[in-house]
Chain A
């Protein structure tokens, strides 16, 4: 029913060549890139707002010190090179010279220190936590930055991407009220494109940064990000040639096969390796009978995830095997079996303490696919004899209900950020289970053994030691089924085949279109 992804290999080949290497085909300069953006970003100031759309658009403007390939290995960008001390506590970055912000001001180590230590520590939703590992920062000269960590922090080298650590121009922000700085409306970064115009509700226009520090880049003259709020209309926009790139999630999954089969159309699910969106259902372990592991196992085996993948996700993505996504570091493949097995599920249910209770399913209010998914799960449950009911909500209501732990099972998907210490442990640590947040240990999973292992693994300096620790963690957690893991979501980027290189890093379209070029026919 579903076609294989045709262009994965091509994309991979390009990536292996590296951003600065020469291309097989000779890139052509010029042209306009039309991209869909949905929803309209609230702001383009990536240091303050880090939601998906902002990140995607502002990724052309802001940059960080490195870029990451599909295996999450770091490569130089604003930093030319770096060293890590033996004890894993000192990181020294050597910055590229001759880089300027869009307004012409040179980019220096002072900007890095200001960004990391002042601006992002205060304004960024995650950076505050990461910077707790940093004891101090030094800028011995204009092109050197040194981080002194309190103790080794395994994932540290993984945080220098534009969405996590965007470089903010110090000269515009220092000493101002960051949130209300007028400069937020005309974002200035070091990236390949410059902000030109934003017609709210309609489009955002970027133009080429002529002074970009990488020679010959970027190739295209301008980018339009089109705001089209209706998924069907976005598909039409692609068909009628108004837009050329449909980033993951732009069109409804149901529409993907049709659009994919159009002429001159390529598709890739690459570019999500860093975020590795993993979907699961929180199980409220404080609610009876969900505290019974047999009930949870029965529910787990009841889920026909293959059907969901094929019918709802166009066969994209992978069936999750546990709490760590397969593209994330330290993923263990051989965890206990949680596959679809309704007979086993019925048997488990019969042995369990389940007694006809109605399970409240809180769906994720992110569009049709998720609604359908909740409906499908409800049917899966009913087929093994679990009564269930879908609780309606919108985004705000979902947040509130999950934060207040007012559900039995709740859909969610979260980014892994490349490393279990960044993206996984936060949702399983016993001391991170306080109500009030929808992204911590919402299920209230309490396991002192895994807690201890998580703590230790985060600060291990040795790679293999970490791998072993995370394997143990994964085995224990999968056996307990505190959550019902669904899919490693595959968000396909659809684009015209003559648009070259839209995806070439682990961040995909979020990482700026510096290497994109358009082949003229």
Chain B
């Protein structure tokens, strides 16, 4: 196992490097540079000021030199300096990451748990009205634009009903501590996490349901029935465990991708996470920040893939680990 993980980590480093290089060229291919954006925001700027800014940022160097400098830093886990925000990228990301992890983590866990439960419930009574309702809801969530649900949820629960705060991470300046703070953050978290989670919940529900039905047709389920096991036991012990395998694969793939969805959610709900950081950085051509966020999110994807594989091995004894 350790050898497998090590092997995968080595591979991950190479993939990460490739992604960095790719993104580096990608982002430098975009028109404009951070100096121009910054000068623009200052409302003025003559060519010498621009040139001075570029020199200060090292943007006057040939591209390959910039790349080399960046890669050299990145290998030593130095993500460089945000040109625009005047602080180390690692710090910026470290500031924002907890919020994103909280949001995506809660959304992910909720969607997975409820998705699987709903999927199991629906498959247990295939064709019943309960199944129809769950399946229809899932289909609806699956077909709804994330940002639109977010908007509508904010409109209904925050503006019309005034039940929940419609934006932000905490009540600023309220100075809550301890439990009060936790409750405050939780209240702020409910809308973004549930809108982000709905879509994924729909996916997991559909997947679980289909997978449960598929597995329930397999021979060993018949064996289990022939043993005289109760339906519920068969569902849980025999069908669910086998049916979870594809769900886990999918969840692993999406745990990394959920950052992407977080961009929209964070934008609508003003959640101070890295999705928004990245979106802003892209608009501002803050190269190091963009690369840093890509670096982190790619690392997340790779990490989750690895976790998925390990979980898979734990659940499925047939899988042998190979590099």
Contacts and interface: CB of A to CB of B under 8 A. Distances in A.
Nearest to B83: A42
Contacts of A438: 36, 40
Given A43-B86, A50-B42, A395-B284, A403 B172 contact: no
Interface in B250-305: 267-270, 272-273, 276-277, 280, 282-285
Nearest to A365: B283
B270 A396 contact: no
Interface stretch (B3-11, B43-51, B206-214, B238-246): B43-51
Interface string B165-207: 1111111110000000000000000000000000000000000
A495 interface: no
Interface stretch (B13-21, B91-99, B219-227, B229-237): B91-99
A334 to B, nearest CB: 29
Contacts of A186: none
Contacts of B249: none
Nearest to B273: A201
Interface stretch (B26-34, B114-122, B133-141): B26-34
Nearest to B174: A242
Contacts of B41: 42, 51-52
Nearest to B48: A128
A203 B172 contact: yes
Contact of A240 (B31, B86, B165, B273): B165
Nearest to B32: A396
A179 B50 contact: no
Nearest to B285: A396
B39 interface: yes
Interface size class of A (residues with CB under 8 A): 35 or more
B85 A125 contact: no
B165 A125 contact: no
A39 interface: yes
B37 A125 contact: no
B209 to A, nearest CB: 36
Nearest to A406: B31
Contact of A228 (B40, B56, B168): B168
B172 A226 contact: yes
Interface string A114-130: 00000000000110110
Given A42-B38, A51-B38, A399-B32, A125 B168 contact: no
Interface stretch (A230-238, A322-330, A445-453, A512-520): A230-238
A395 B96 contact: no
A51 B42 CA distance: 4
A179 B280 CA distance: 22
Nearest to B171: A242
B158 interface: yes
Contacts of B307: none
A399 B37 contact: yes
B96 A200 contact: yes
Contacts of A437: 45-47, 50
A440 B37 CA distance: 15
A81 interface: no
Contacts of A34: 172-173
A184 B82 CA distance: 14
Contacts of B283: 365, 394-396
B161 to A, nearest CB: 13
Interface size class of B (residues with CB under 8 A): 35 or more
A436 interface: yes
A396 B36 contact: yes
A49 B37 CA distance: 12
A228 B270 contact: yes
B254 to A, nearest CB: 25
A349 B285 CA distance: 40
A437 B50 CA distance: 8
Given A201-B272, A437-B46, A437-B50, A397 B31 contact: yes
A462 interface: no
A39 to B, nearest CB: 7
A402 to B, nearest CB: 9
A202 interface: yes
Nearest to A185: B87
A417 to B, nearest CB: 9
A400 B33 CA distance: 8
A414 interface: yes
A395 B37 contact: yes
Interface string A190-202: 0000000001111
A129 B46 contact: yes
B45 A125 contact: yes
A125 B42 contact: yes
A34 B38 CA distance: 26
A229 B283 CA distance: 13
A415 interface: yes
Given A229-B270, A236-B159, A439 B168 contact: no
Contact of B36 (A233, A365, A400): A400
A224 interface: yes
Contacts of B49: 125, 128
23 contacts: A50-B44, A125-B39, A125-B46, A129-B46, A201-B96, A201-B276, A228-B270, A233-B270, A236-B154, A236-B159, A237-B168, A394-B282, A395-B283, A395-B284, A396-B31, A396-B33, A396-B37, A397-B32, A399-B36, A400-B32, A401-B31, A437-B50, A439-B45
Given A49-B38, A50-B42, A242-B168, 13 more contacts: A34-B172, A51-B41, A51-B42, A125-B42, A126-B45, A185-B86, A201-B272, A224-B172, A229-B276, A236-B154, A395-B40, A396-B37, A438-B36
Interface of A: 32, 34, 39, 42-43, 45, 48-52, 125-126, 128-129, 179, 184-185, 199-203, 205, 224, 226-230, 232-233, 236-237, 240, 242, 365, 393-401, 403, 414-415, 434, 436-440
Interface of B: 30-34, 36-50, 56, 84-87, 92, 95-96, 99, 154, 158-159, 165-173, 267-270, 272-273, 276-277, 280, 282-285
